Every structure is written in C-alpha cells, then in structure tokens.
Structure 1
Amino acid sequence: MKFTGTKNYVSTEDLSMAVNATIALERPLIIKGEPGTGKTLLAIEVAESLGMELIEWHVKSTTKASQGLYEYDAVTRLRDSQLGDERVKDIKNYIKKGKLWEAFESDKQVVLLIDEIDKADIEFPNDLLQELDRMEFYCYETGETIKAKKRPLIIITSNNEKELPDAFLRRCFFHYIQFPDRPTMEGIVKVHYPKIKKALVKDALDLFFDVRKIPGMKKKPSTSELIDWLKLLMSDELPDEILKNADTSKAIPPLYGALLKNEQDVQLLERLAFMSRREQAK
C-alpha cells in the first residue's frame, strides 16, 4: 500500500513519505501544522485512497482517554434494576464502545483519526500509551481483553496548542506540514476549482502571499481560507482588474472577511493603508 495523494488532495513528496513510513513501521503518525493546512482531511483521503474504513475520534477539552476505550453506564443499569428490567443481567448492555474498541474489533484494517489531541488534558496522550503500543486493553466490567484483530493505521493531528509528552512522541512517526509554496498552492486551487481563470488565481495568490508576509499578523490566512476567498471572488463576479497590482499596504483586500479572522489583523491592514495614503499625500 502506497499513498501518493488523491484527486481531491494534493500531497507533497515529504507528506506521502511520512504516511507510507508510518504504514511500514506500524506506528501512529502525528501530523502538526498551521490550522487549515489539511491535517484532518489527510486522514479522510488516506482512508479513501487505501480503501479502508475511517473511524474518527474528535477530541475536545473535556475528552478523557478512557472514553476512547469504553464507557460503563452504571446509572442506567441501577435504574433498570429498580424497574426490574431483564437487561441488567448482562453487563455488556451498559458498555458503550469507544473509537479504539471499534478500530480494534474490526475484521479489516481501518484508519483511526484522533483529531486535535492537544485540545485535551496534558495527561491524555500518556493515558493512551499502553493501548497504542500493545494494541490491546482490558475491560474490567466484562473481564475481557480487547485485542486489535488488524492493527489500525492511526493518524493523530495537533495544532501545537500544547506540547505532547516525550514518551508519547517516541512511539510515533512525526511530520510537520509546511505551509504550501506557490506551485503547490496552485495545484490545490486547481483541485478545488479546475475551471477558475488563471489570471484570477495569479492575482489572488499575489495578494494572498503578500498578506501572509505582513509582520505582526496575529493569524495569517490559511489554505482553507484562500479556497473560501476564491469561491467568493468567483461568485461575486468582481471585475478582473480589482486584484491587479493590488498593494496590501494601500488597501484592504476585497471580501477580506474570508481571509482575516480577527479585528487586530483588520486594524493592522487599515493602519498600513492609512499610513501609505498619508505618505503619498505629502
């Protein structure tokens, strides 16, 4: 099995090599990168490319590692026992399988996405060390050991909000998705909008990369925001010349709400535009 990207996902040589290395090593793949660089989408496309089922575990700040294994609903069992429900005789009726359990019991190899692991508590990765290393865990309520029938291909994403423990990192293959260069970005745009005018792409990318170069930006626009912006530019049928020779120090980009996501960056561009106009007026 080799991953080289798909018709819907442009994968660089380094990224494809990382995916294929984690398949060969049978270790989890940790993907880091700026928000909007396609980390989550990678798992979806890897599963599609390799013909595997995708199991998604989206981590939140309140997520516990044990939830990925299973949850025992003791409250419902107690209530059912008081009502004389026959289901209480089998404790398995009150075990809710987690995403790891689903992946382990699958008869075929699956792709397991653990999305945004850095959102959870700092101990979350450590609590999964043994399960991800041995590919098994023990269910105390039923007295059974759940072992992986087929070792899943595990892809873990992180936005670098907090550092991951060294012991966890040692058990993984790591890859940082670099922000796409211009040729790669042109390929990404072509995947999303194959019929877009080349002139529009050129002018939009000129402006987009100029905005990203501005010092002091709190949040630089990402790939996903560029795609949204281009969609708006096409749907609004703006005149072709509106982006030509645009200077981000003299004007705010049209439909900037798709690119800029906080008031500090908008105010920064507005100040640059004001200062430029004042200099020209002298």
Structure 2
Amino acid sequence: MKFEGTSEYIATDDLQMAVNAAVILQRPLLIKGEPGTGKTMLAEQVAASLGKRLLQWHIKSTSKAQQGLYDYDAVSRLRDSQLGKAEVEDVRHYLKKGALWQAFESDEQVVLLIDEIDKADIEFPNDLLVELDKMAFSVYETGEVIRAKHRPIVIITSNNEKELPDAFLRRCFFHYIRFPDEATMQRILDVHFPQLKRDLARRALERFFELREIPGLKKKPSTSELVDWLKLLMADDISVEALAGDLRQAVPPLYGALVKNEQDVQLLQRLAFMTRRD
C-alpha cells in the first residue's frame, strides 16, 4: 500500500514520495515546515490512508525520552508497601507504558507520531537513537527486553526551533513541507469549503498572500488561519466587495483570525493610513 493523500488532506507529489520512501527504507520520517502547514495532520492521514492505528506522543519542553518508553512510579510503590498491599511484589504494576512500548508490542503495524521533537532538550533526540534504530529497549526494573513485533511507521515533526543532532538526522528520511502556492491552496480550500463561491475564494486568497508578503510582518498567517478566516467570512456573510482593494488601502475584515500580535496589527494600520494620506 502506498500513501497518496486522502479526501481530507492534499498531499503534493514530493510529500507522497517522502512518506513512501520512509516506509520502504524503514526509517523515521522527519517533517519540517512552517507552523500550520499540516505536519501533525499528516500522521493522522497516513494512518487513515493505510488503515493503521495511530499512536501520538506530543513533546513538551519538560519531556524526557524515557517517558516514550515507560515511567516507573516508585512513589506509589513505596506508599503501597507501607500499606502492606500485595501487588507491591510485582514491579510491573508500577510501570506505565509509553508510546514506543505500545507501538512495539502492537500485534499490527501502527503509525507513531512524535510531534514537535524540537520543543524538548537538545539531548532528547540522541536519547532515542538506539531505540529507533534497533527497535528495542531494556526495562531496567524487570530486566526484560522489549522488541518491536512490527516496525512502526514513525513520523517526527519539527518546527525548526532548534537544530537537531547530526547522528539523529542520519537515521531519518527528511522532508520540508513548502508553504502551498495559490493553486495548491485552492485545492485545500475546495476540501474544506466545497460550497465556497469562487469569487470570494479568489479574493480571499489574494488578500491572504498579499498579507504574507508584507515586509516586517512578525508572524505570517498559516493555512489553518486562512481556513478560520474563511469560516468567519462565510458565517458573517461578508461580500466580495468588502475584500476589494489591497492591504495598503484597508485592514481586511475579521483580521484577528489572520494577524496574531499587536505589532502586526499596528503595521497594517500604519500602512493603510499612510496610503490613504498619500
């Protein structure tokens, strides 16, 4: 089976190639790209397309690699020993299986998402090298070795907030999701809004891409923000005429769905004011 996108997810040819190449090579697929370009959703859609279960491990700044394997609750075991509970003799009662353990012991191949790996400490990727390479790890408390019954399809996302170690990168198949061009974005909108009027879609896309090109913009709007903006435009029955002109003449209606900080709002307002004054 090959990944070819889904009815809910527009995958470009090079993205499809990257997913299928990673599956064939049995290597983790490292996905980078701007926030909002569908990196996390890719794993969901790969699982749906291939008919496989999805396991998700969302990384935080406090996450440790060990948590992906298992957690040992020594405090609960100590408390139970003081209470004289029988289960204290079996350490397995105090092991909480992480996403990798669950993926390794699955009777069928699963898709494993390690989301936003660059949020964690710089050593985090290195601490997973052996486990992702050998598809096995040891449980120190019991002495057993957990080996993958079926090598999972591993998809790792990164927002490029920090550099990843070379040793980790060597073990991955890499793909950068480029921001969609207008034609691809139109296909994405067709999926989300099949009833959207063509004139409104065209004018909204023009304003959206103009906004992304404004020099000095601190945060460019993403695909997800465009989708939210269009939902609001349709809900408020905004006319095509309200989107006429360019951003140098007026701030777009319901701009709060697109612009997410006060510096960018002030930039747009100053730009419109200076244009009108001239």
Indicate the residue corresponding to 1:66 in structure 2. Answer: 66
> Letter of the aligned partner of 1:108 in structure 2?
E
Give the TM-score normalised by structure 2.
0.99
After superposing on structure 2, the runs of 4+ consecutive aligned residues of structure 1 that deviate more than 2 Å are none
- Please show how residues 170-185 of structure 1 align to structure 2 within 5 Å: 170-185=170-185
C-alpha contact (below 8 Å) 2:29/2:154 kept by paired residues: yes
> Letter of the aligned partner of 2:274 in structure 1?
M
Shift of 1:278: 1.3
Matched-pair identity in %: 70
Distance 1:148 1:239 in 2: 56
> Letter of the aligned partner of 1:118 in structure 2?
D
Matched, 1:14 2:14: yes
Q: Deviations over 1:93-150 (max 9, x none)?
A: 0000010000000010000000000000000000000000000000010110000000
Shift of 1:241: 1.1
Distance 1:276 1:104 in 2: 60
Distance 1:252 1:237 in 2: 18
Q: Secondary structure at the match of 1:52?
A: coil
Indicate the residue corresponding to 2:268 in structure 1. Answer: 269
Indicate the residue corresponding to 1:213 in structure 2. Answer: 213
- Please show how residues 42-53 of structure 1 align to structure 2 within 5 Å: 42-53=42-53
> Letter of the aligned partner of 1:256 in structure 2?
Y
Q: Secondary structure at the match of 2:125?
A: helix
Q: Which runs of 5+ in 2 are unaligned?
A: none
Q: Secondary structure at the match of 2:156?
A: strand
C-alpha contact (below 8 Å) 2:115/2:157 kept by paired residues: yes
Shift of 1:71: 0.7
Distance 2:239 2:145 in 1: 65
Q: Which runs of 5+ in 1 are unaligned?
A: none
> Letter of the aligned partner of 1:65 in structure 2?
A
Shift of 1:277: 1.2
Distance 1:186 1:163 in 2: 33
> Letter of the aligned partner of 2:200 in structure 1?
L
Distance 1:183 1:273 in 2: 28
Shift of 1:190: 0.4
Q: Secondary structure at the match of 1:176?
A: strand
> Letter of the aligned partner of 2:118 in structure 1?
D
Distance 2:79 2:118 in 1: 36
Shift of 1:239: 2.4
Indicate the residue corresponding to 1:83 in structure 2. Answer: 83
Indicate the residue corresponding to 1:93 in structure 2. Answer: 93
Indicate the residue corresponding to 1:250 in structure 2. Answer: 249
Q: Secondary structure at the match of 2:27?
A: coil
Distance 2:217 2:110 in 1: 40
Q: Which moved more, 1:270-279 or 1:183-192?
A: 270-279
Shift of 1:247: 1.1
Distance 1:139 1:241 in 2: 64
Shift of 1:62: 0.3
Q: Secondary structure at the match of 1:122?
A: coil
